[in-house]
Amino acid sequence: MKLYTYFRSSAAYRARIALNLKGLPYEMVSIHLTKDGGYQRKPDFRAINPHMRVPALEVSGGEILTQSLAIIEYLDEIHPEPPLLPADALERAKVRAIAQIIACDIHPLNNLVALQYLKRELKHAQPEIDAWYHHWVIEGFNAIEAMIGPGPYTCGAQVTLADICLVPQVANARRLKVPLDHYPKIVAADAACLKLPAFDKARPENQPDAE
Ligand SMILES: N[C@@H](CCC(=O)N[C@@H](CS)C(=O)NCC(=O)O)C(=O)O
């Protein structure tokens, strides 16, 4: 498999964690999201993902999958061990709820393309953009902190899709200096995950294209 990725992309980070947890080998193709106006916008990559975002995963047979959650659920269906979603429907819905707070409610408001639009088109100053970024992380993390149970992971004793989404979002929050003091359960789940090689290997700083 071939993963189109960028070391700093939290959505690509999710896909890297899932591939590592499944123990699947993959080649990485780095798509620099800021150099020369962003390689995601060049015709070569546009032909791979018309949405011009990473991750994209080329699977055997040459099909391209996009959207990190779709990629992760595909991998989980094709390679069921270890499962990334609980067997119980109620527990599965709880895992998906946390994953979706991050992937659907926090990240789209805070990803590169949204922040660039605030700056370049709407002419907001950097402190306003930083305040915007912090606001949506805090809103989402307040909810997730209240939803996390005993641990050690986000949804209990097993690593799930919720952890796969949480860890990259915590990394982004730290990079953008969002204070995490009010989120001891989030910080603990993040630390527990990062002890696992699959998560550690997927960290931005451990990628071949890290700067
Ligand atoms: N919902 C998508 C989000 C993908 C996404 O927005 N990726 C960002 C990096 S984290 C990207 O490629 N941005 C390109 C840009 O900002 O131009 C997913 O989960 O895969």
* 13 CA → ligand 1 middle, Å: 11
Confidence of residue 16 (pLDDT cuts 50, 70, 90): very high
How does pLDDT run across 38-49, given as a tens digit for each residue?
999 999 999 999
Structure tokens of 154?
Answer: 């986000």
Do 66 and 14 meet the contact criterion of CB atoms below 8 Å apart? Answer: no
Q: What is the pLDDT of residue 140?
A: 98
How does pLDDT run across 52-66, given as a tens digit for each residue?
999 999 998 999 999
Q: What is the pLDDT of residue 186?
A: 98
> pTM for the complete prediction?
0.97
Q: What is the pLDDT of residue 119?
A: 96
Instruction: Work out the mean pLDDT of the chain and round it to a whole number.
Output: 97
Is any atom of ligand 1 closer than 6 Å to the C-beta of 114? no
- Between CA 102 and CA 145 the distance in angstroms is 12
Do 203 and 167 meet the contact criterion of CB atoms below 8 Å apart? Answer: no
Output the CA torsion 109→114→116→119 (10° steps): -60
Structure tokens of 54?
Answer: 């990473």
For ligand 1, atom 14: residue with the closest CA:
53
Q: What is the pLDDT of residue 86?
A: 98
Q: What is the pLDDT of residue 80?
A: 98
For 108, 118, 135, the CA distances from 14, given in Å and listed in that order, are 15, 25, 22
How does pLDDT run across 66-115, given as a tens digit for each residue?
999 999 999 999 999 999 999 999 999 999 999 999 999 999 999 999 99
Percentage, residues of the chain above pLDDT 70: 100
- CA-nearest of 58, 19, 78, 59 to 197 is 19
How does pLDDT run across 182-196, given as a tens digit for each residue?
999 999 999 999 999
* 58 CA → ligand 1 middle, Å: 17
